[in-house]
Amino acid sequence: MSILTVQGVNKSFAGLKALNQVNLKVAQGQVHAIIGPNGAGKSTLLNCFVGRLEPDTGTVMFDGQSLLNRRPHEINQLGVARVFQTPEIFPDLSLLENVMIPAFAHRDGAFKMNWLPRIDGEAEIRDKALHMLEEVGLADNRSDHAGALSRGDKRRLELAMCLVQEPRLLLLDEPTAGMSRADTNNTIDLLKRIGERGITKIVIEHDMHVVFSLAHKVSVMAQGTVIAEGTPEEIRGNPKVQEAYLGGAHL
């Protein structure tokens, strides 16, 4: 059963076609990787899922509901969380607060004038956030300002912020870009561990090592459209894919 169904999505910028009749089905509980050369439209597609961009035509259905014409927070409240290419965190707040905030959104919805209790009195939320920080290995730094973290740690923090919301669909935009090999492997392990919870994931990735260690299914995009789809093994041998990557044929 597919949880996300994308049909006939088109998007142009000033006459330039960024997305051209994109179709995509993402199965419940799977890790679905989207790969492709730079400018293939991967990030644009992701932006169409979270309300950052509106497609010109086409439909995006998430678990029976359209994701189009909704504001970002509404889509998140439906159960879609996103990790960005450059980590979007709260640099001026402590790590614990960083993870507690999304937990509040999960519990209280898009707006609640919750000004009477103290934030350190919200034990349930705090414990949940702390547990999540432990899981990504940042619990010891819970009192630090998030802005002081290394780039890799920021990514892990952002992942914790998304996971604490128990999303049904997690979008990851190059979760290992710019990471060292060791950090990359840590992240893969982490993603595998959380994969056991049945969260569906869409991963945009350049690093084929990551793709092949994680993905159940791979879609290849080039020039704004999906040119191939299949299991990692099928994709590896697909001549169309190698052609799309041309010079960088490391498949």
Contact positions vs other proteins (CB under 8 A): 50, 71-73, 76-77, 81-82, 84, 88-97, 100-102, 104-106, 108-122, 142-145, 147-148, 161, 165
Q: How far is the CB of 235 from other proteins (least distance, A)?
A: 29
Q: Cβ neighbours of residue 61 under 8 Å, at least 6 residues apart?
A: 4, 5, 6, 7, 67
Q: How far is the CB of 29 from other proteins (least distance, A)?
A: 22
Q: Cβ neighbours of residue 117 under 8 Å, at least 6 residues apart?
A: none
At 7, phi and psi to the nearest 5?
Answer: -135, 125
Place of tokens 């090999």: 181
At 57, phi and psi to the nearest 5?
Answer: -140, 170
Distance, in Å, from the CA atom of 73 to the CA atom of 50, rounded to the nearest integer, reads: 9
Q: How far is the CB of 220 from other proteins (least distance, A)?
A: 26
Q: How far is the CB of 119 from other proteins (least distance, A)?
A: 5
Nearest to other proteins of 146, 190 (CB atom):
146
Q: How far is the CB of 223 from other proteins (least distance, A)?
A: 25
Nearest to other proteins of 74, 189 (CB atom):
74
Distance, in Å, from the CA atom of 58 to the CA atom of 40, rounded to the nearest integer, reads: 18
Displacement of CA 122 from its chain's centroid (Å): 28
Nearest to other proteins of 117, 247 (CB atom):
117
Q: How many other C-beta atoms lie within 10 A of the C-beta of residue 182?
A: 9
